[in-house]
Amino acid sequence: MIDYNSFRHFADSWGLLYMLVVFIGVILFMFRPGAKDHAKAAAQIALKDDRAPEGKE
């Protein structure tokens, strides 16, 4: 079993590196080619009117 000090040492070293890699991966994912169109479509989801027209249920 891992004691607190060992876990803390692991989190301070490898955990920080893991979080840095995840952060860089998210940044690269957002700036990939074609991401702009997906981001624009996602931004418009809240503004879409999905209600059916009157009498067309």
Q: Whose CA is closest to 39, among 52, 48, 29, 51?
A: 29
Q: What pLDDT was estimated at residue 55? A: 67
Q: What is the pTM of this model?
A: 0.57
Show pLDDT as tens, one digit a residue, over the chain (57 residues): 779 998 898 888 898 899 999 999 999 988 988 888 988 888 988 888 877 777 666
C-alpha span between 45 and 52 (Å, rounded):
16
Backbone angles phi, psi at 47, to 5 degrees: -95, -5
C-alpha span between 21 and 5 (Å, rounded):
24
Q: Whose CA is closest to 39, among 47, 31, 48?
A: 31
